[in-house]
């Protein structure tokens, strides 16, 4: 698996990417990472879109990687992921959500990790290559709502009656 992470401010966070290529006969998985510890450690959540996964079969999965040990928190096997689908991961408080094209597919709660980095992971099994599993338009950000502040004086609105 190839993993890339970057620093992110705030505990309530999201990251998303668009699948560009998701083809081939080999097992493949595009994954969004949230709340990852420092790069040398292997502690994070990852939200995966899968193809040709077996034993147990799944097409969408929310995992926890704690001390390098991978645990599935919740999965489903009814979604067929394809090019142009947007894989989005959200971590808000203890609630973790995996979305496809804006629709929640999986939601689970876990208290293990409360903050950290966001990023991408890609995996293609032997016989395939990363050209079988490509993403683009990656973005990450905070889910926190920033309170608006308005000046008490000095507001001028032109053209309003």
Q: What is the pLDDT of residues 113-134, one digit of tens each?
A: 999 999 999 988 888 888 889 9
* Residue 38: predicted pLDDT: 77
Closest CA relative to residue 135, chosen from 59, 83, 98, 60? 83
* Residue 83: predicted pLDDT: 95
Q: What is the pLDDT of residues 78-90, one digit of tens each?
A: 999 999 999 999 9
The residue ranking higher by pLDDT, 106 or 129, is 106
Closest CA relative to residue 88, chosen from 78, 105, 80, 100? 100
**What is the token pair recorded at 126?**
């032997």
**What is the token pair recorded at 160?**
């309003």
* Residue 155: predicted pLDDT: 40
**What is the token pair recorded at 45?**
């959540």
Confidence of residue 157 (pLDDT cuts 50, 70, 90): very low
Alpha-carbon gap, residue 12 to 9, rounded angstroms? 9
φ/ψ of residue 130, rounded to 5: -65, -15
């Amino acid at each position: 698996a190839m993993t890339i992470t970057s620093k992110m401010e705030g505990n309530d966070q999201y990251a998303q990417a668009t699948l560009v290529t998701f083809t081939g006969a080999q097992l493949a998985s595009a994954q969004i990472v949230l709340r990852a510890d420092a790069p040398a450690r292997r502690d994070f959540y990852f939200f995966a879109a899968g193809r040709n996964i077996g034993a147990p079969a799944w097409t969408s999965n929310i995992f926890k990687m704690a001390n390098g040990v991978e645990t599935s928190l919740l999965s489903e096997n009814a979604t067929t992921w394809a090019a142009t689908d947007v894989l989005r991961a959200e971590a808000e408080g203890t609630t973790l959500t995996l979305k496809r094209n804006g629709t929640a597919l999986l939601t689970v709660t876990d208290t293990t990790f409360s903050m950290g980095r966001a990023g991408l992971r890609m995996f293609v099994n032997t016989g395939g290559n990363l050209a079988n599993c490509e993403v683009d338009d990656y973005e990450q950000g905070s889910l926190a709502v920033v309170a608006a502040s308005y000046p008490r004086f000095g507001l001028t609105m032109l053209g309003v009656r």
